[in-house]
Amino acid sequence: MSRRVWVRIAIALLTAVVLAGCSSTVVRDKRSGRVVSTPKYGATAVVNRGETLYRIATNNGISPLDLATWNNIPPPYTIYPGQRLRLYPGSGRRPTASVPPRRPGTSAPSRPPTPSTPAPAPVSATPATSPFAWRWPTDGQLVGSYVTGDPTKQGVDIAGNSGQPVRAAGDGVVVYSGSGLVGYGELIIVKHNEEWLSAYGHNRARLVNEGQIVKAGQQIAEMGRSGATRDMLHFEIRYNGRPVDPMQYLPRR
């Protein structure tokens, strides 16, 4: 084989290696192989339909676990279309530059006082104030309650009959209508404003499409048991992407 052919092969292989290295923004630790997160201070990412926590994390050079931790997302790390994720730790502070080591025989340089890092604010037990009144999404018996910190109980379950109306709990726009989120069956998510979402799972049929504007009390689905063992509605209210207890917002009945 001629030298010219060898040179072409070498150039082709080198080009392939360079392109492969440029295809990902993920940096890995050479010893452990784990992703080394590069926070993007002040930046956020809005979840689009079909995106996963893993995809958003790796696309931004962040480990999925760090992204989940920074946004207080518990296992199984479920995210929703329209949800806004922070791409940096909760303190929002850049790490302080380290002081270079002192040379032997020289006096220690004066060190500026290091500002103390404020302790994280305690989580308030007082629920966030909603700017609008919520409505019950359907009729029936309450068979499942919200439990703080339990990823399997992030809303309430309301039992009823197959096909009975499921209604929007408030005015908003449908940001998700599908069955792609495991454990929710046929699911609808309504965005009420930049802070508030509501989710309606286990439907028999979905009657609205993504992008559709809905009014409070409008029927958006038929109750069913998709992804469940009985006919019921799984209903969640989320504030800034985090689940809250729906019973603190729904009217007494």
Domain ranges, ordered by start, for the chain: 20-86, 141-248
Residues facing 129 on adjacent strands: none
Q: Is 189:155 a contact under the CB 8 Å cutoff? A: no
Tens-place pLDDT, residues 109-140: 555 454 444 444 444 457 889 999 999 999 99
Residues facing 228 on adjacent strands: none
Please tell me the distance from the alpha carbon of residue 247 to that of residue 43, in angstroms, as a whole number.
33
Q: Nearest-CA neighbor of 232 among 220, 224, 240?
A: 224
* Domain at 141-248, CATH homologous superfamily: Glucose Permease (Domain IIA) (2.70.70.10)
* 226 or 53, which is more confident: 226
Backbone phi, then psi, for 51, in 5-degree steps? -80, 145
Average pLDDT score over residue span 181-189:
88
Q: What is the pTM of this model?
A: 0.63
pLDDT of 104 over the 60 cut? no
Neighbours of 136 (CB within 10 A): 16
6 pLDDT tier (thresholds 50, 70, 90): very low
Backbone phi, then psi, for 246, in 5-degree steps? -60, -30
Architecture of domain 20-86: Roll (3.10)
pLDDT of 18 over the 70 cut? no
Mean pLDDT over each residue of the chain, to the nearest integer? 79
Q: Nearest-CA neighbor of 92 among 23, 50, 129, 43?
A: 43
Token pair in block for residue 108: 């220690």
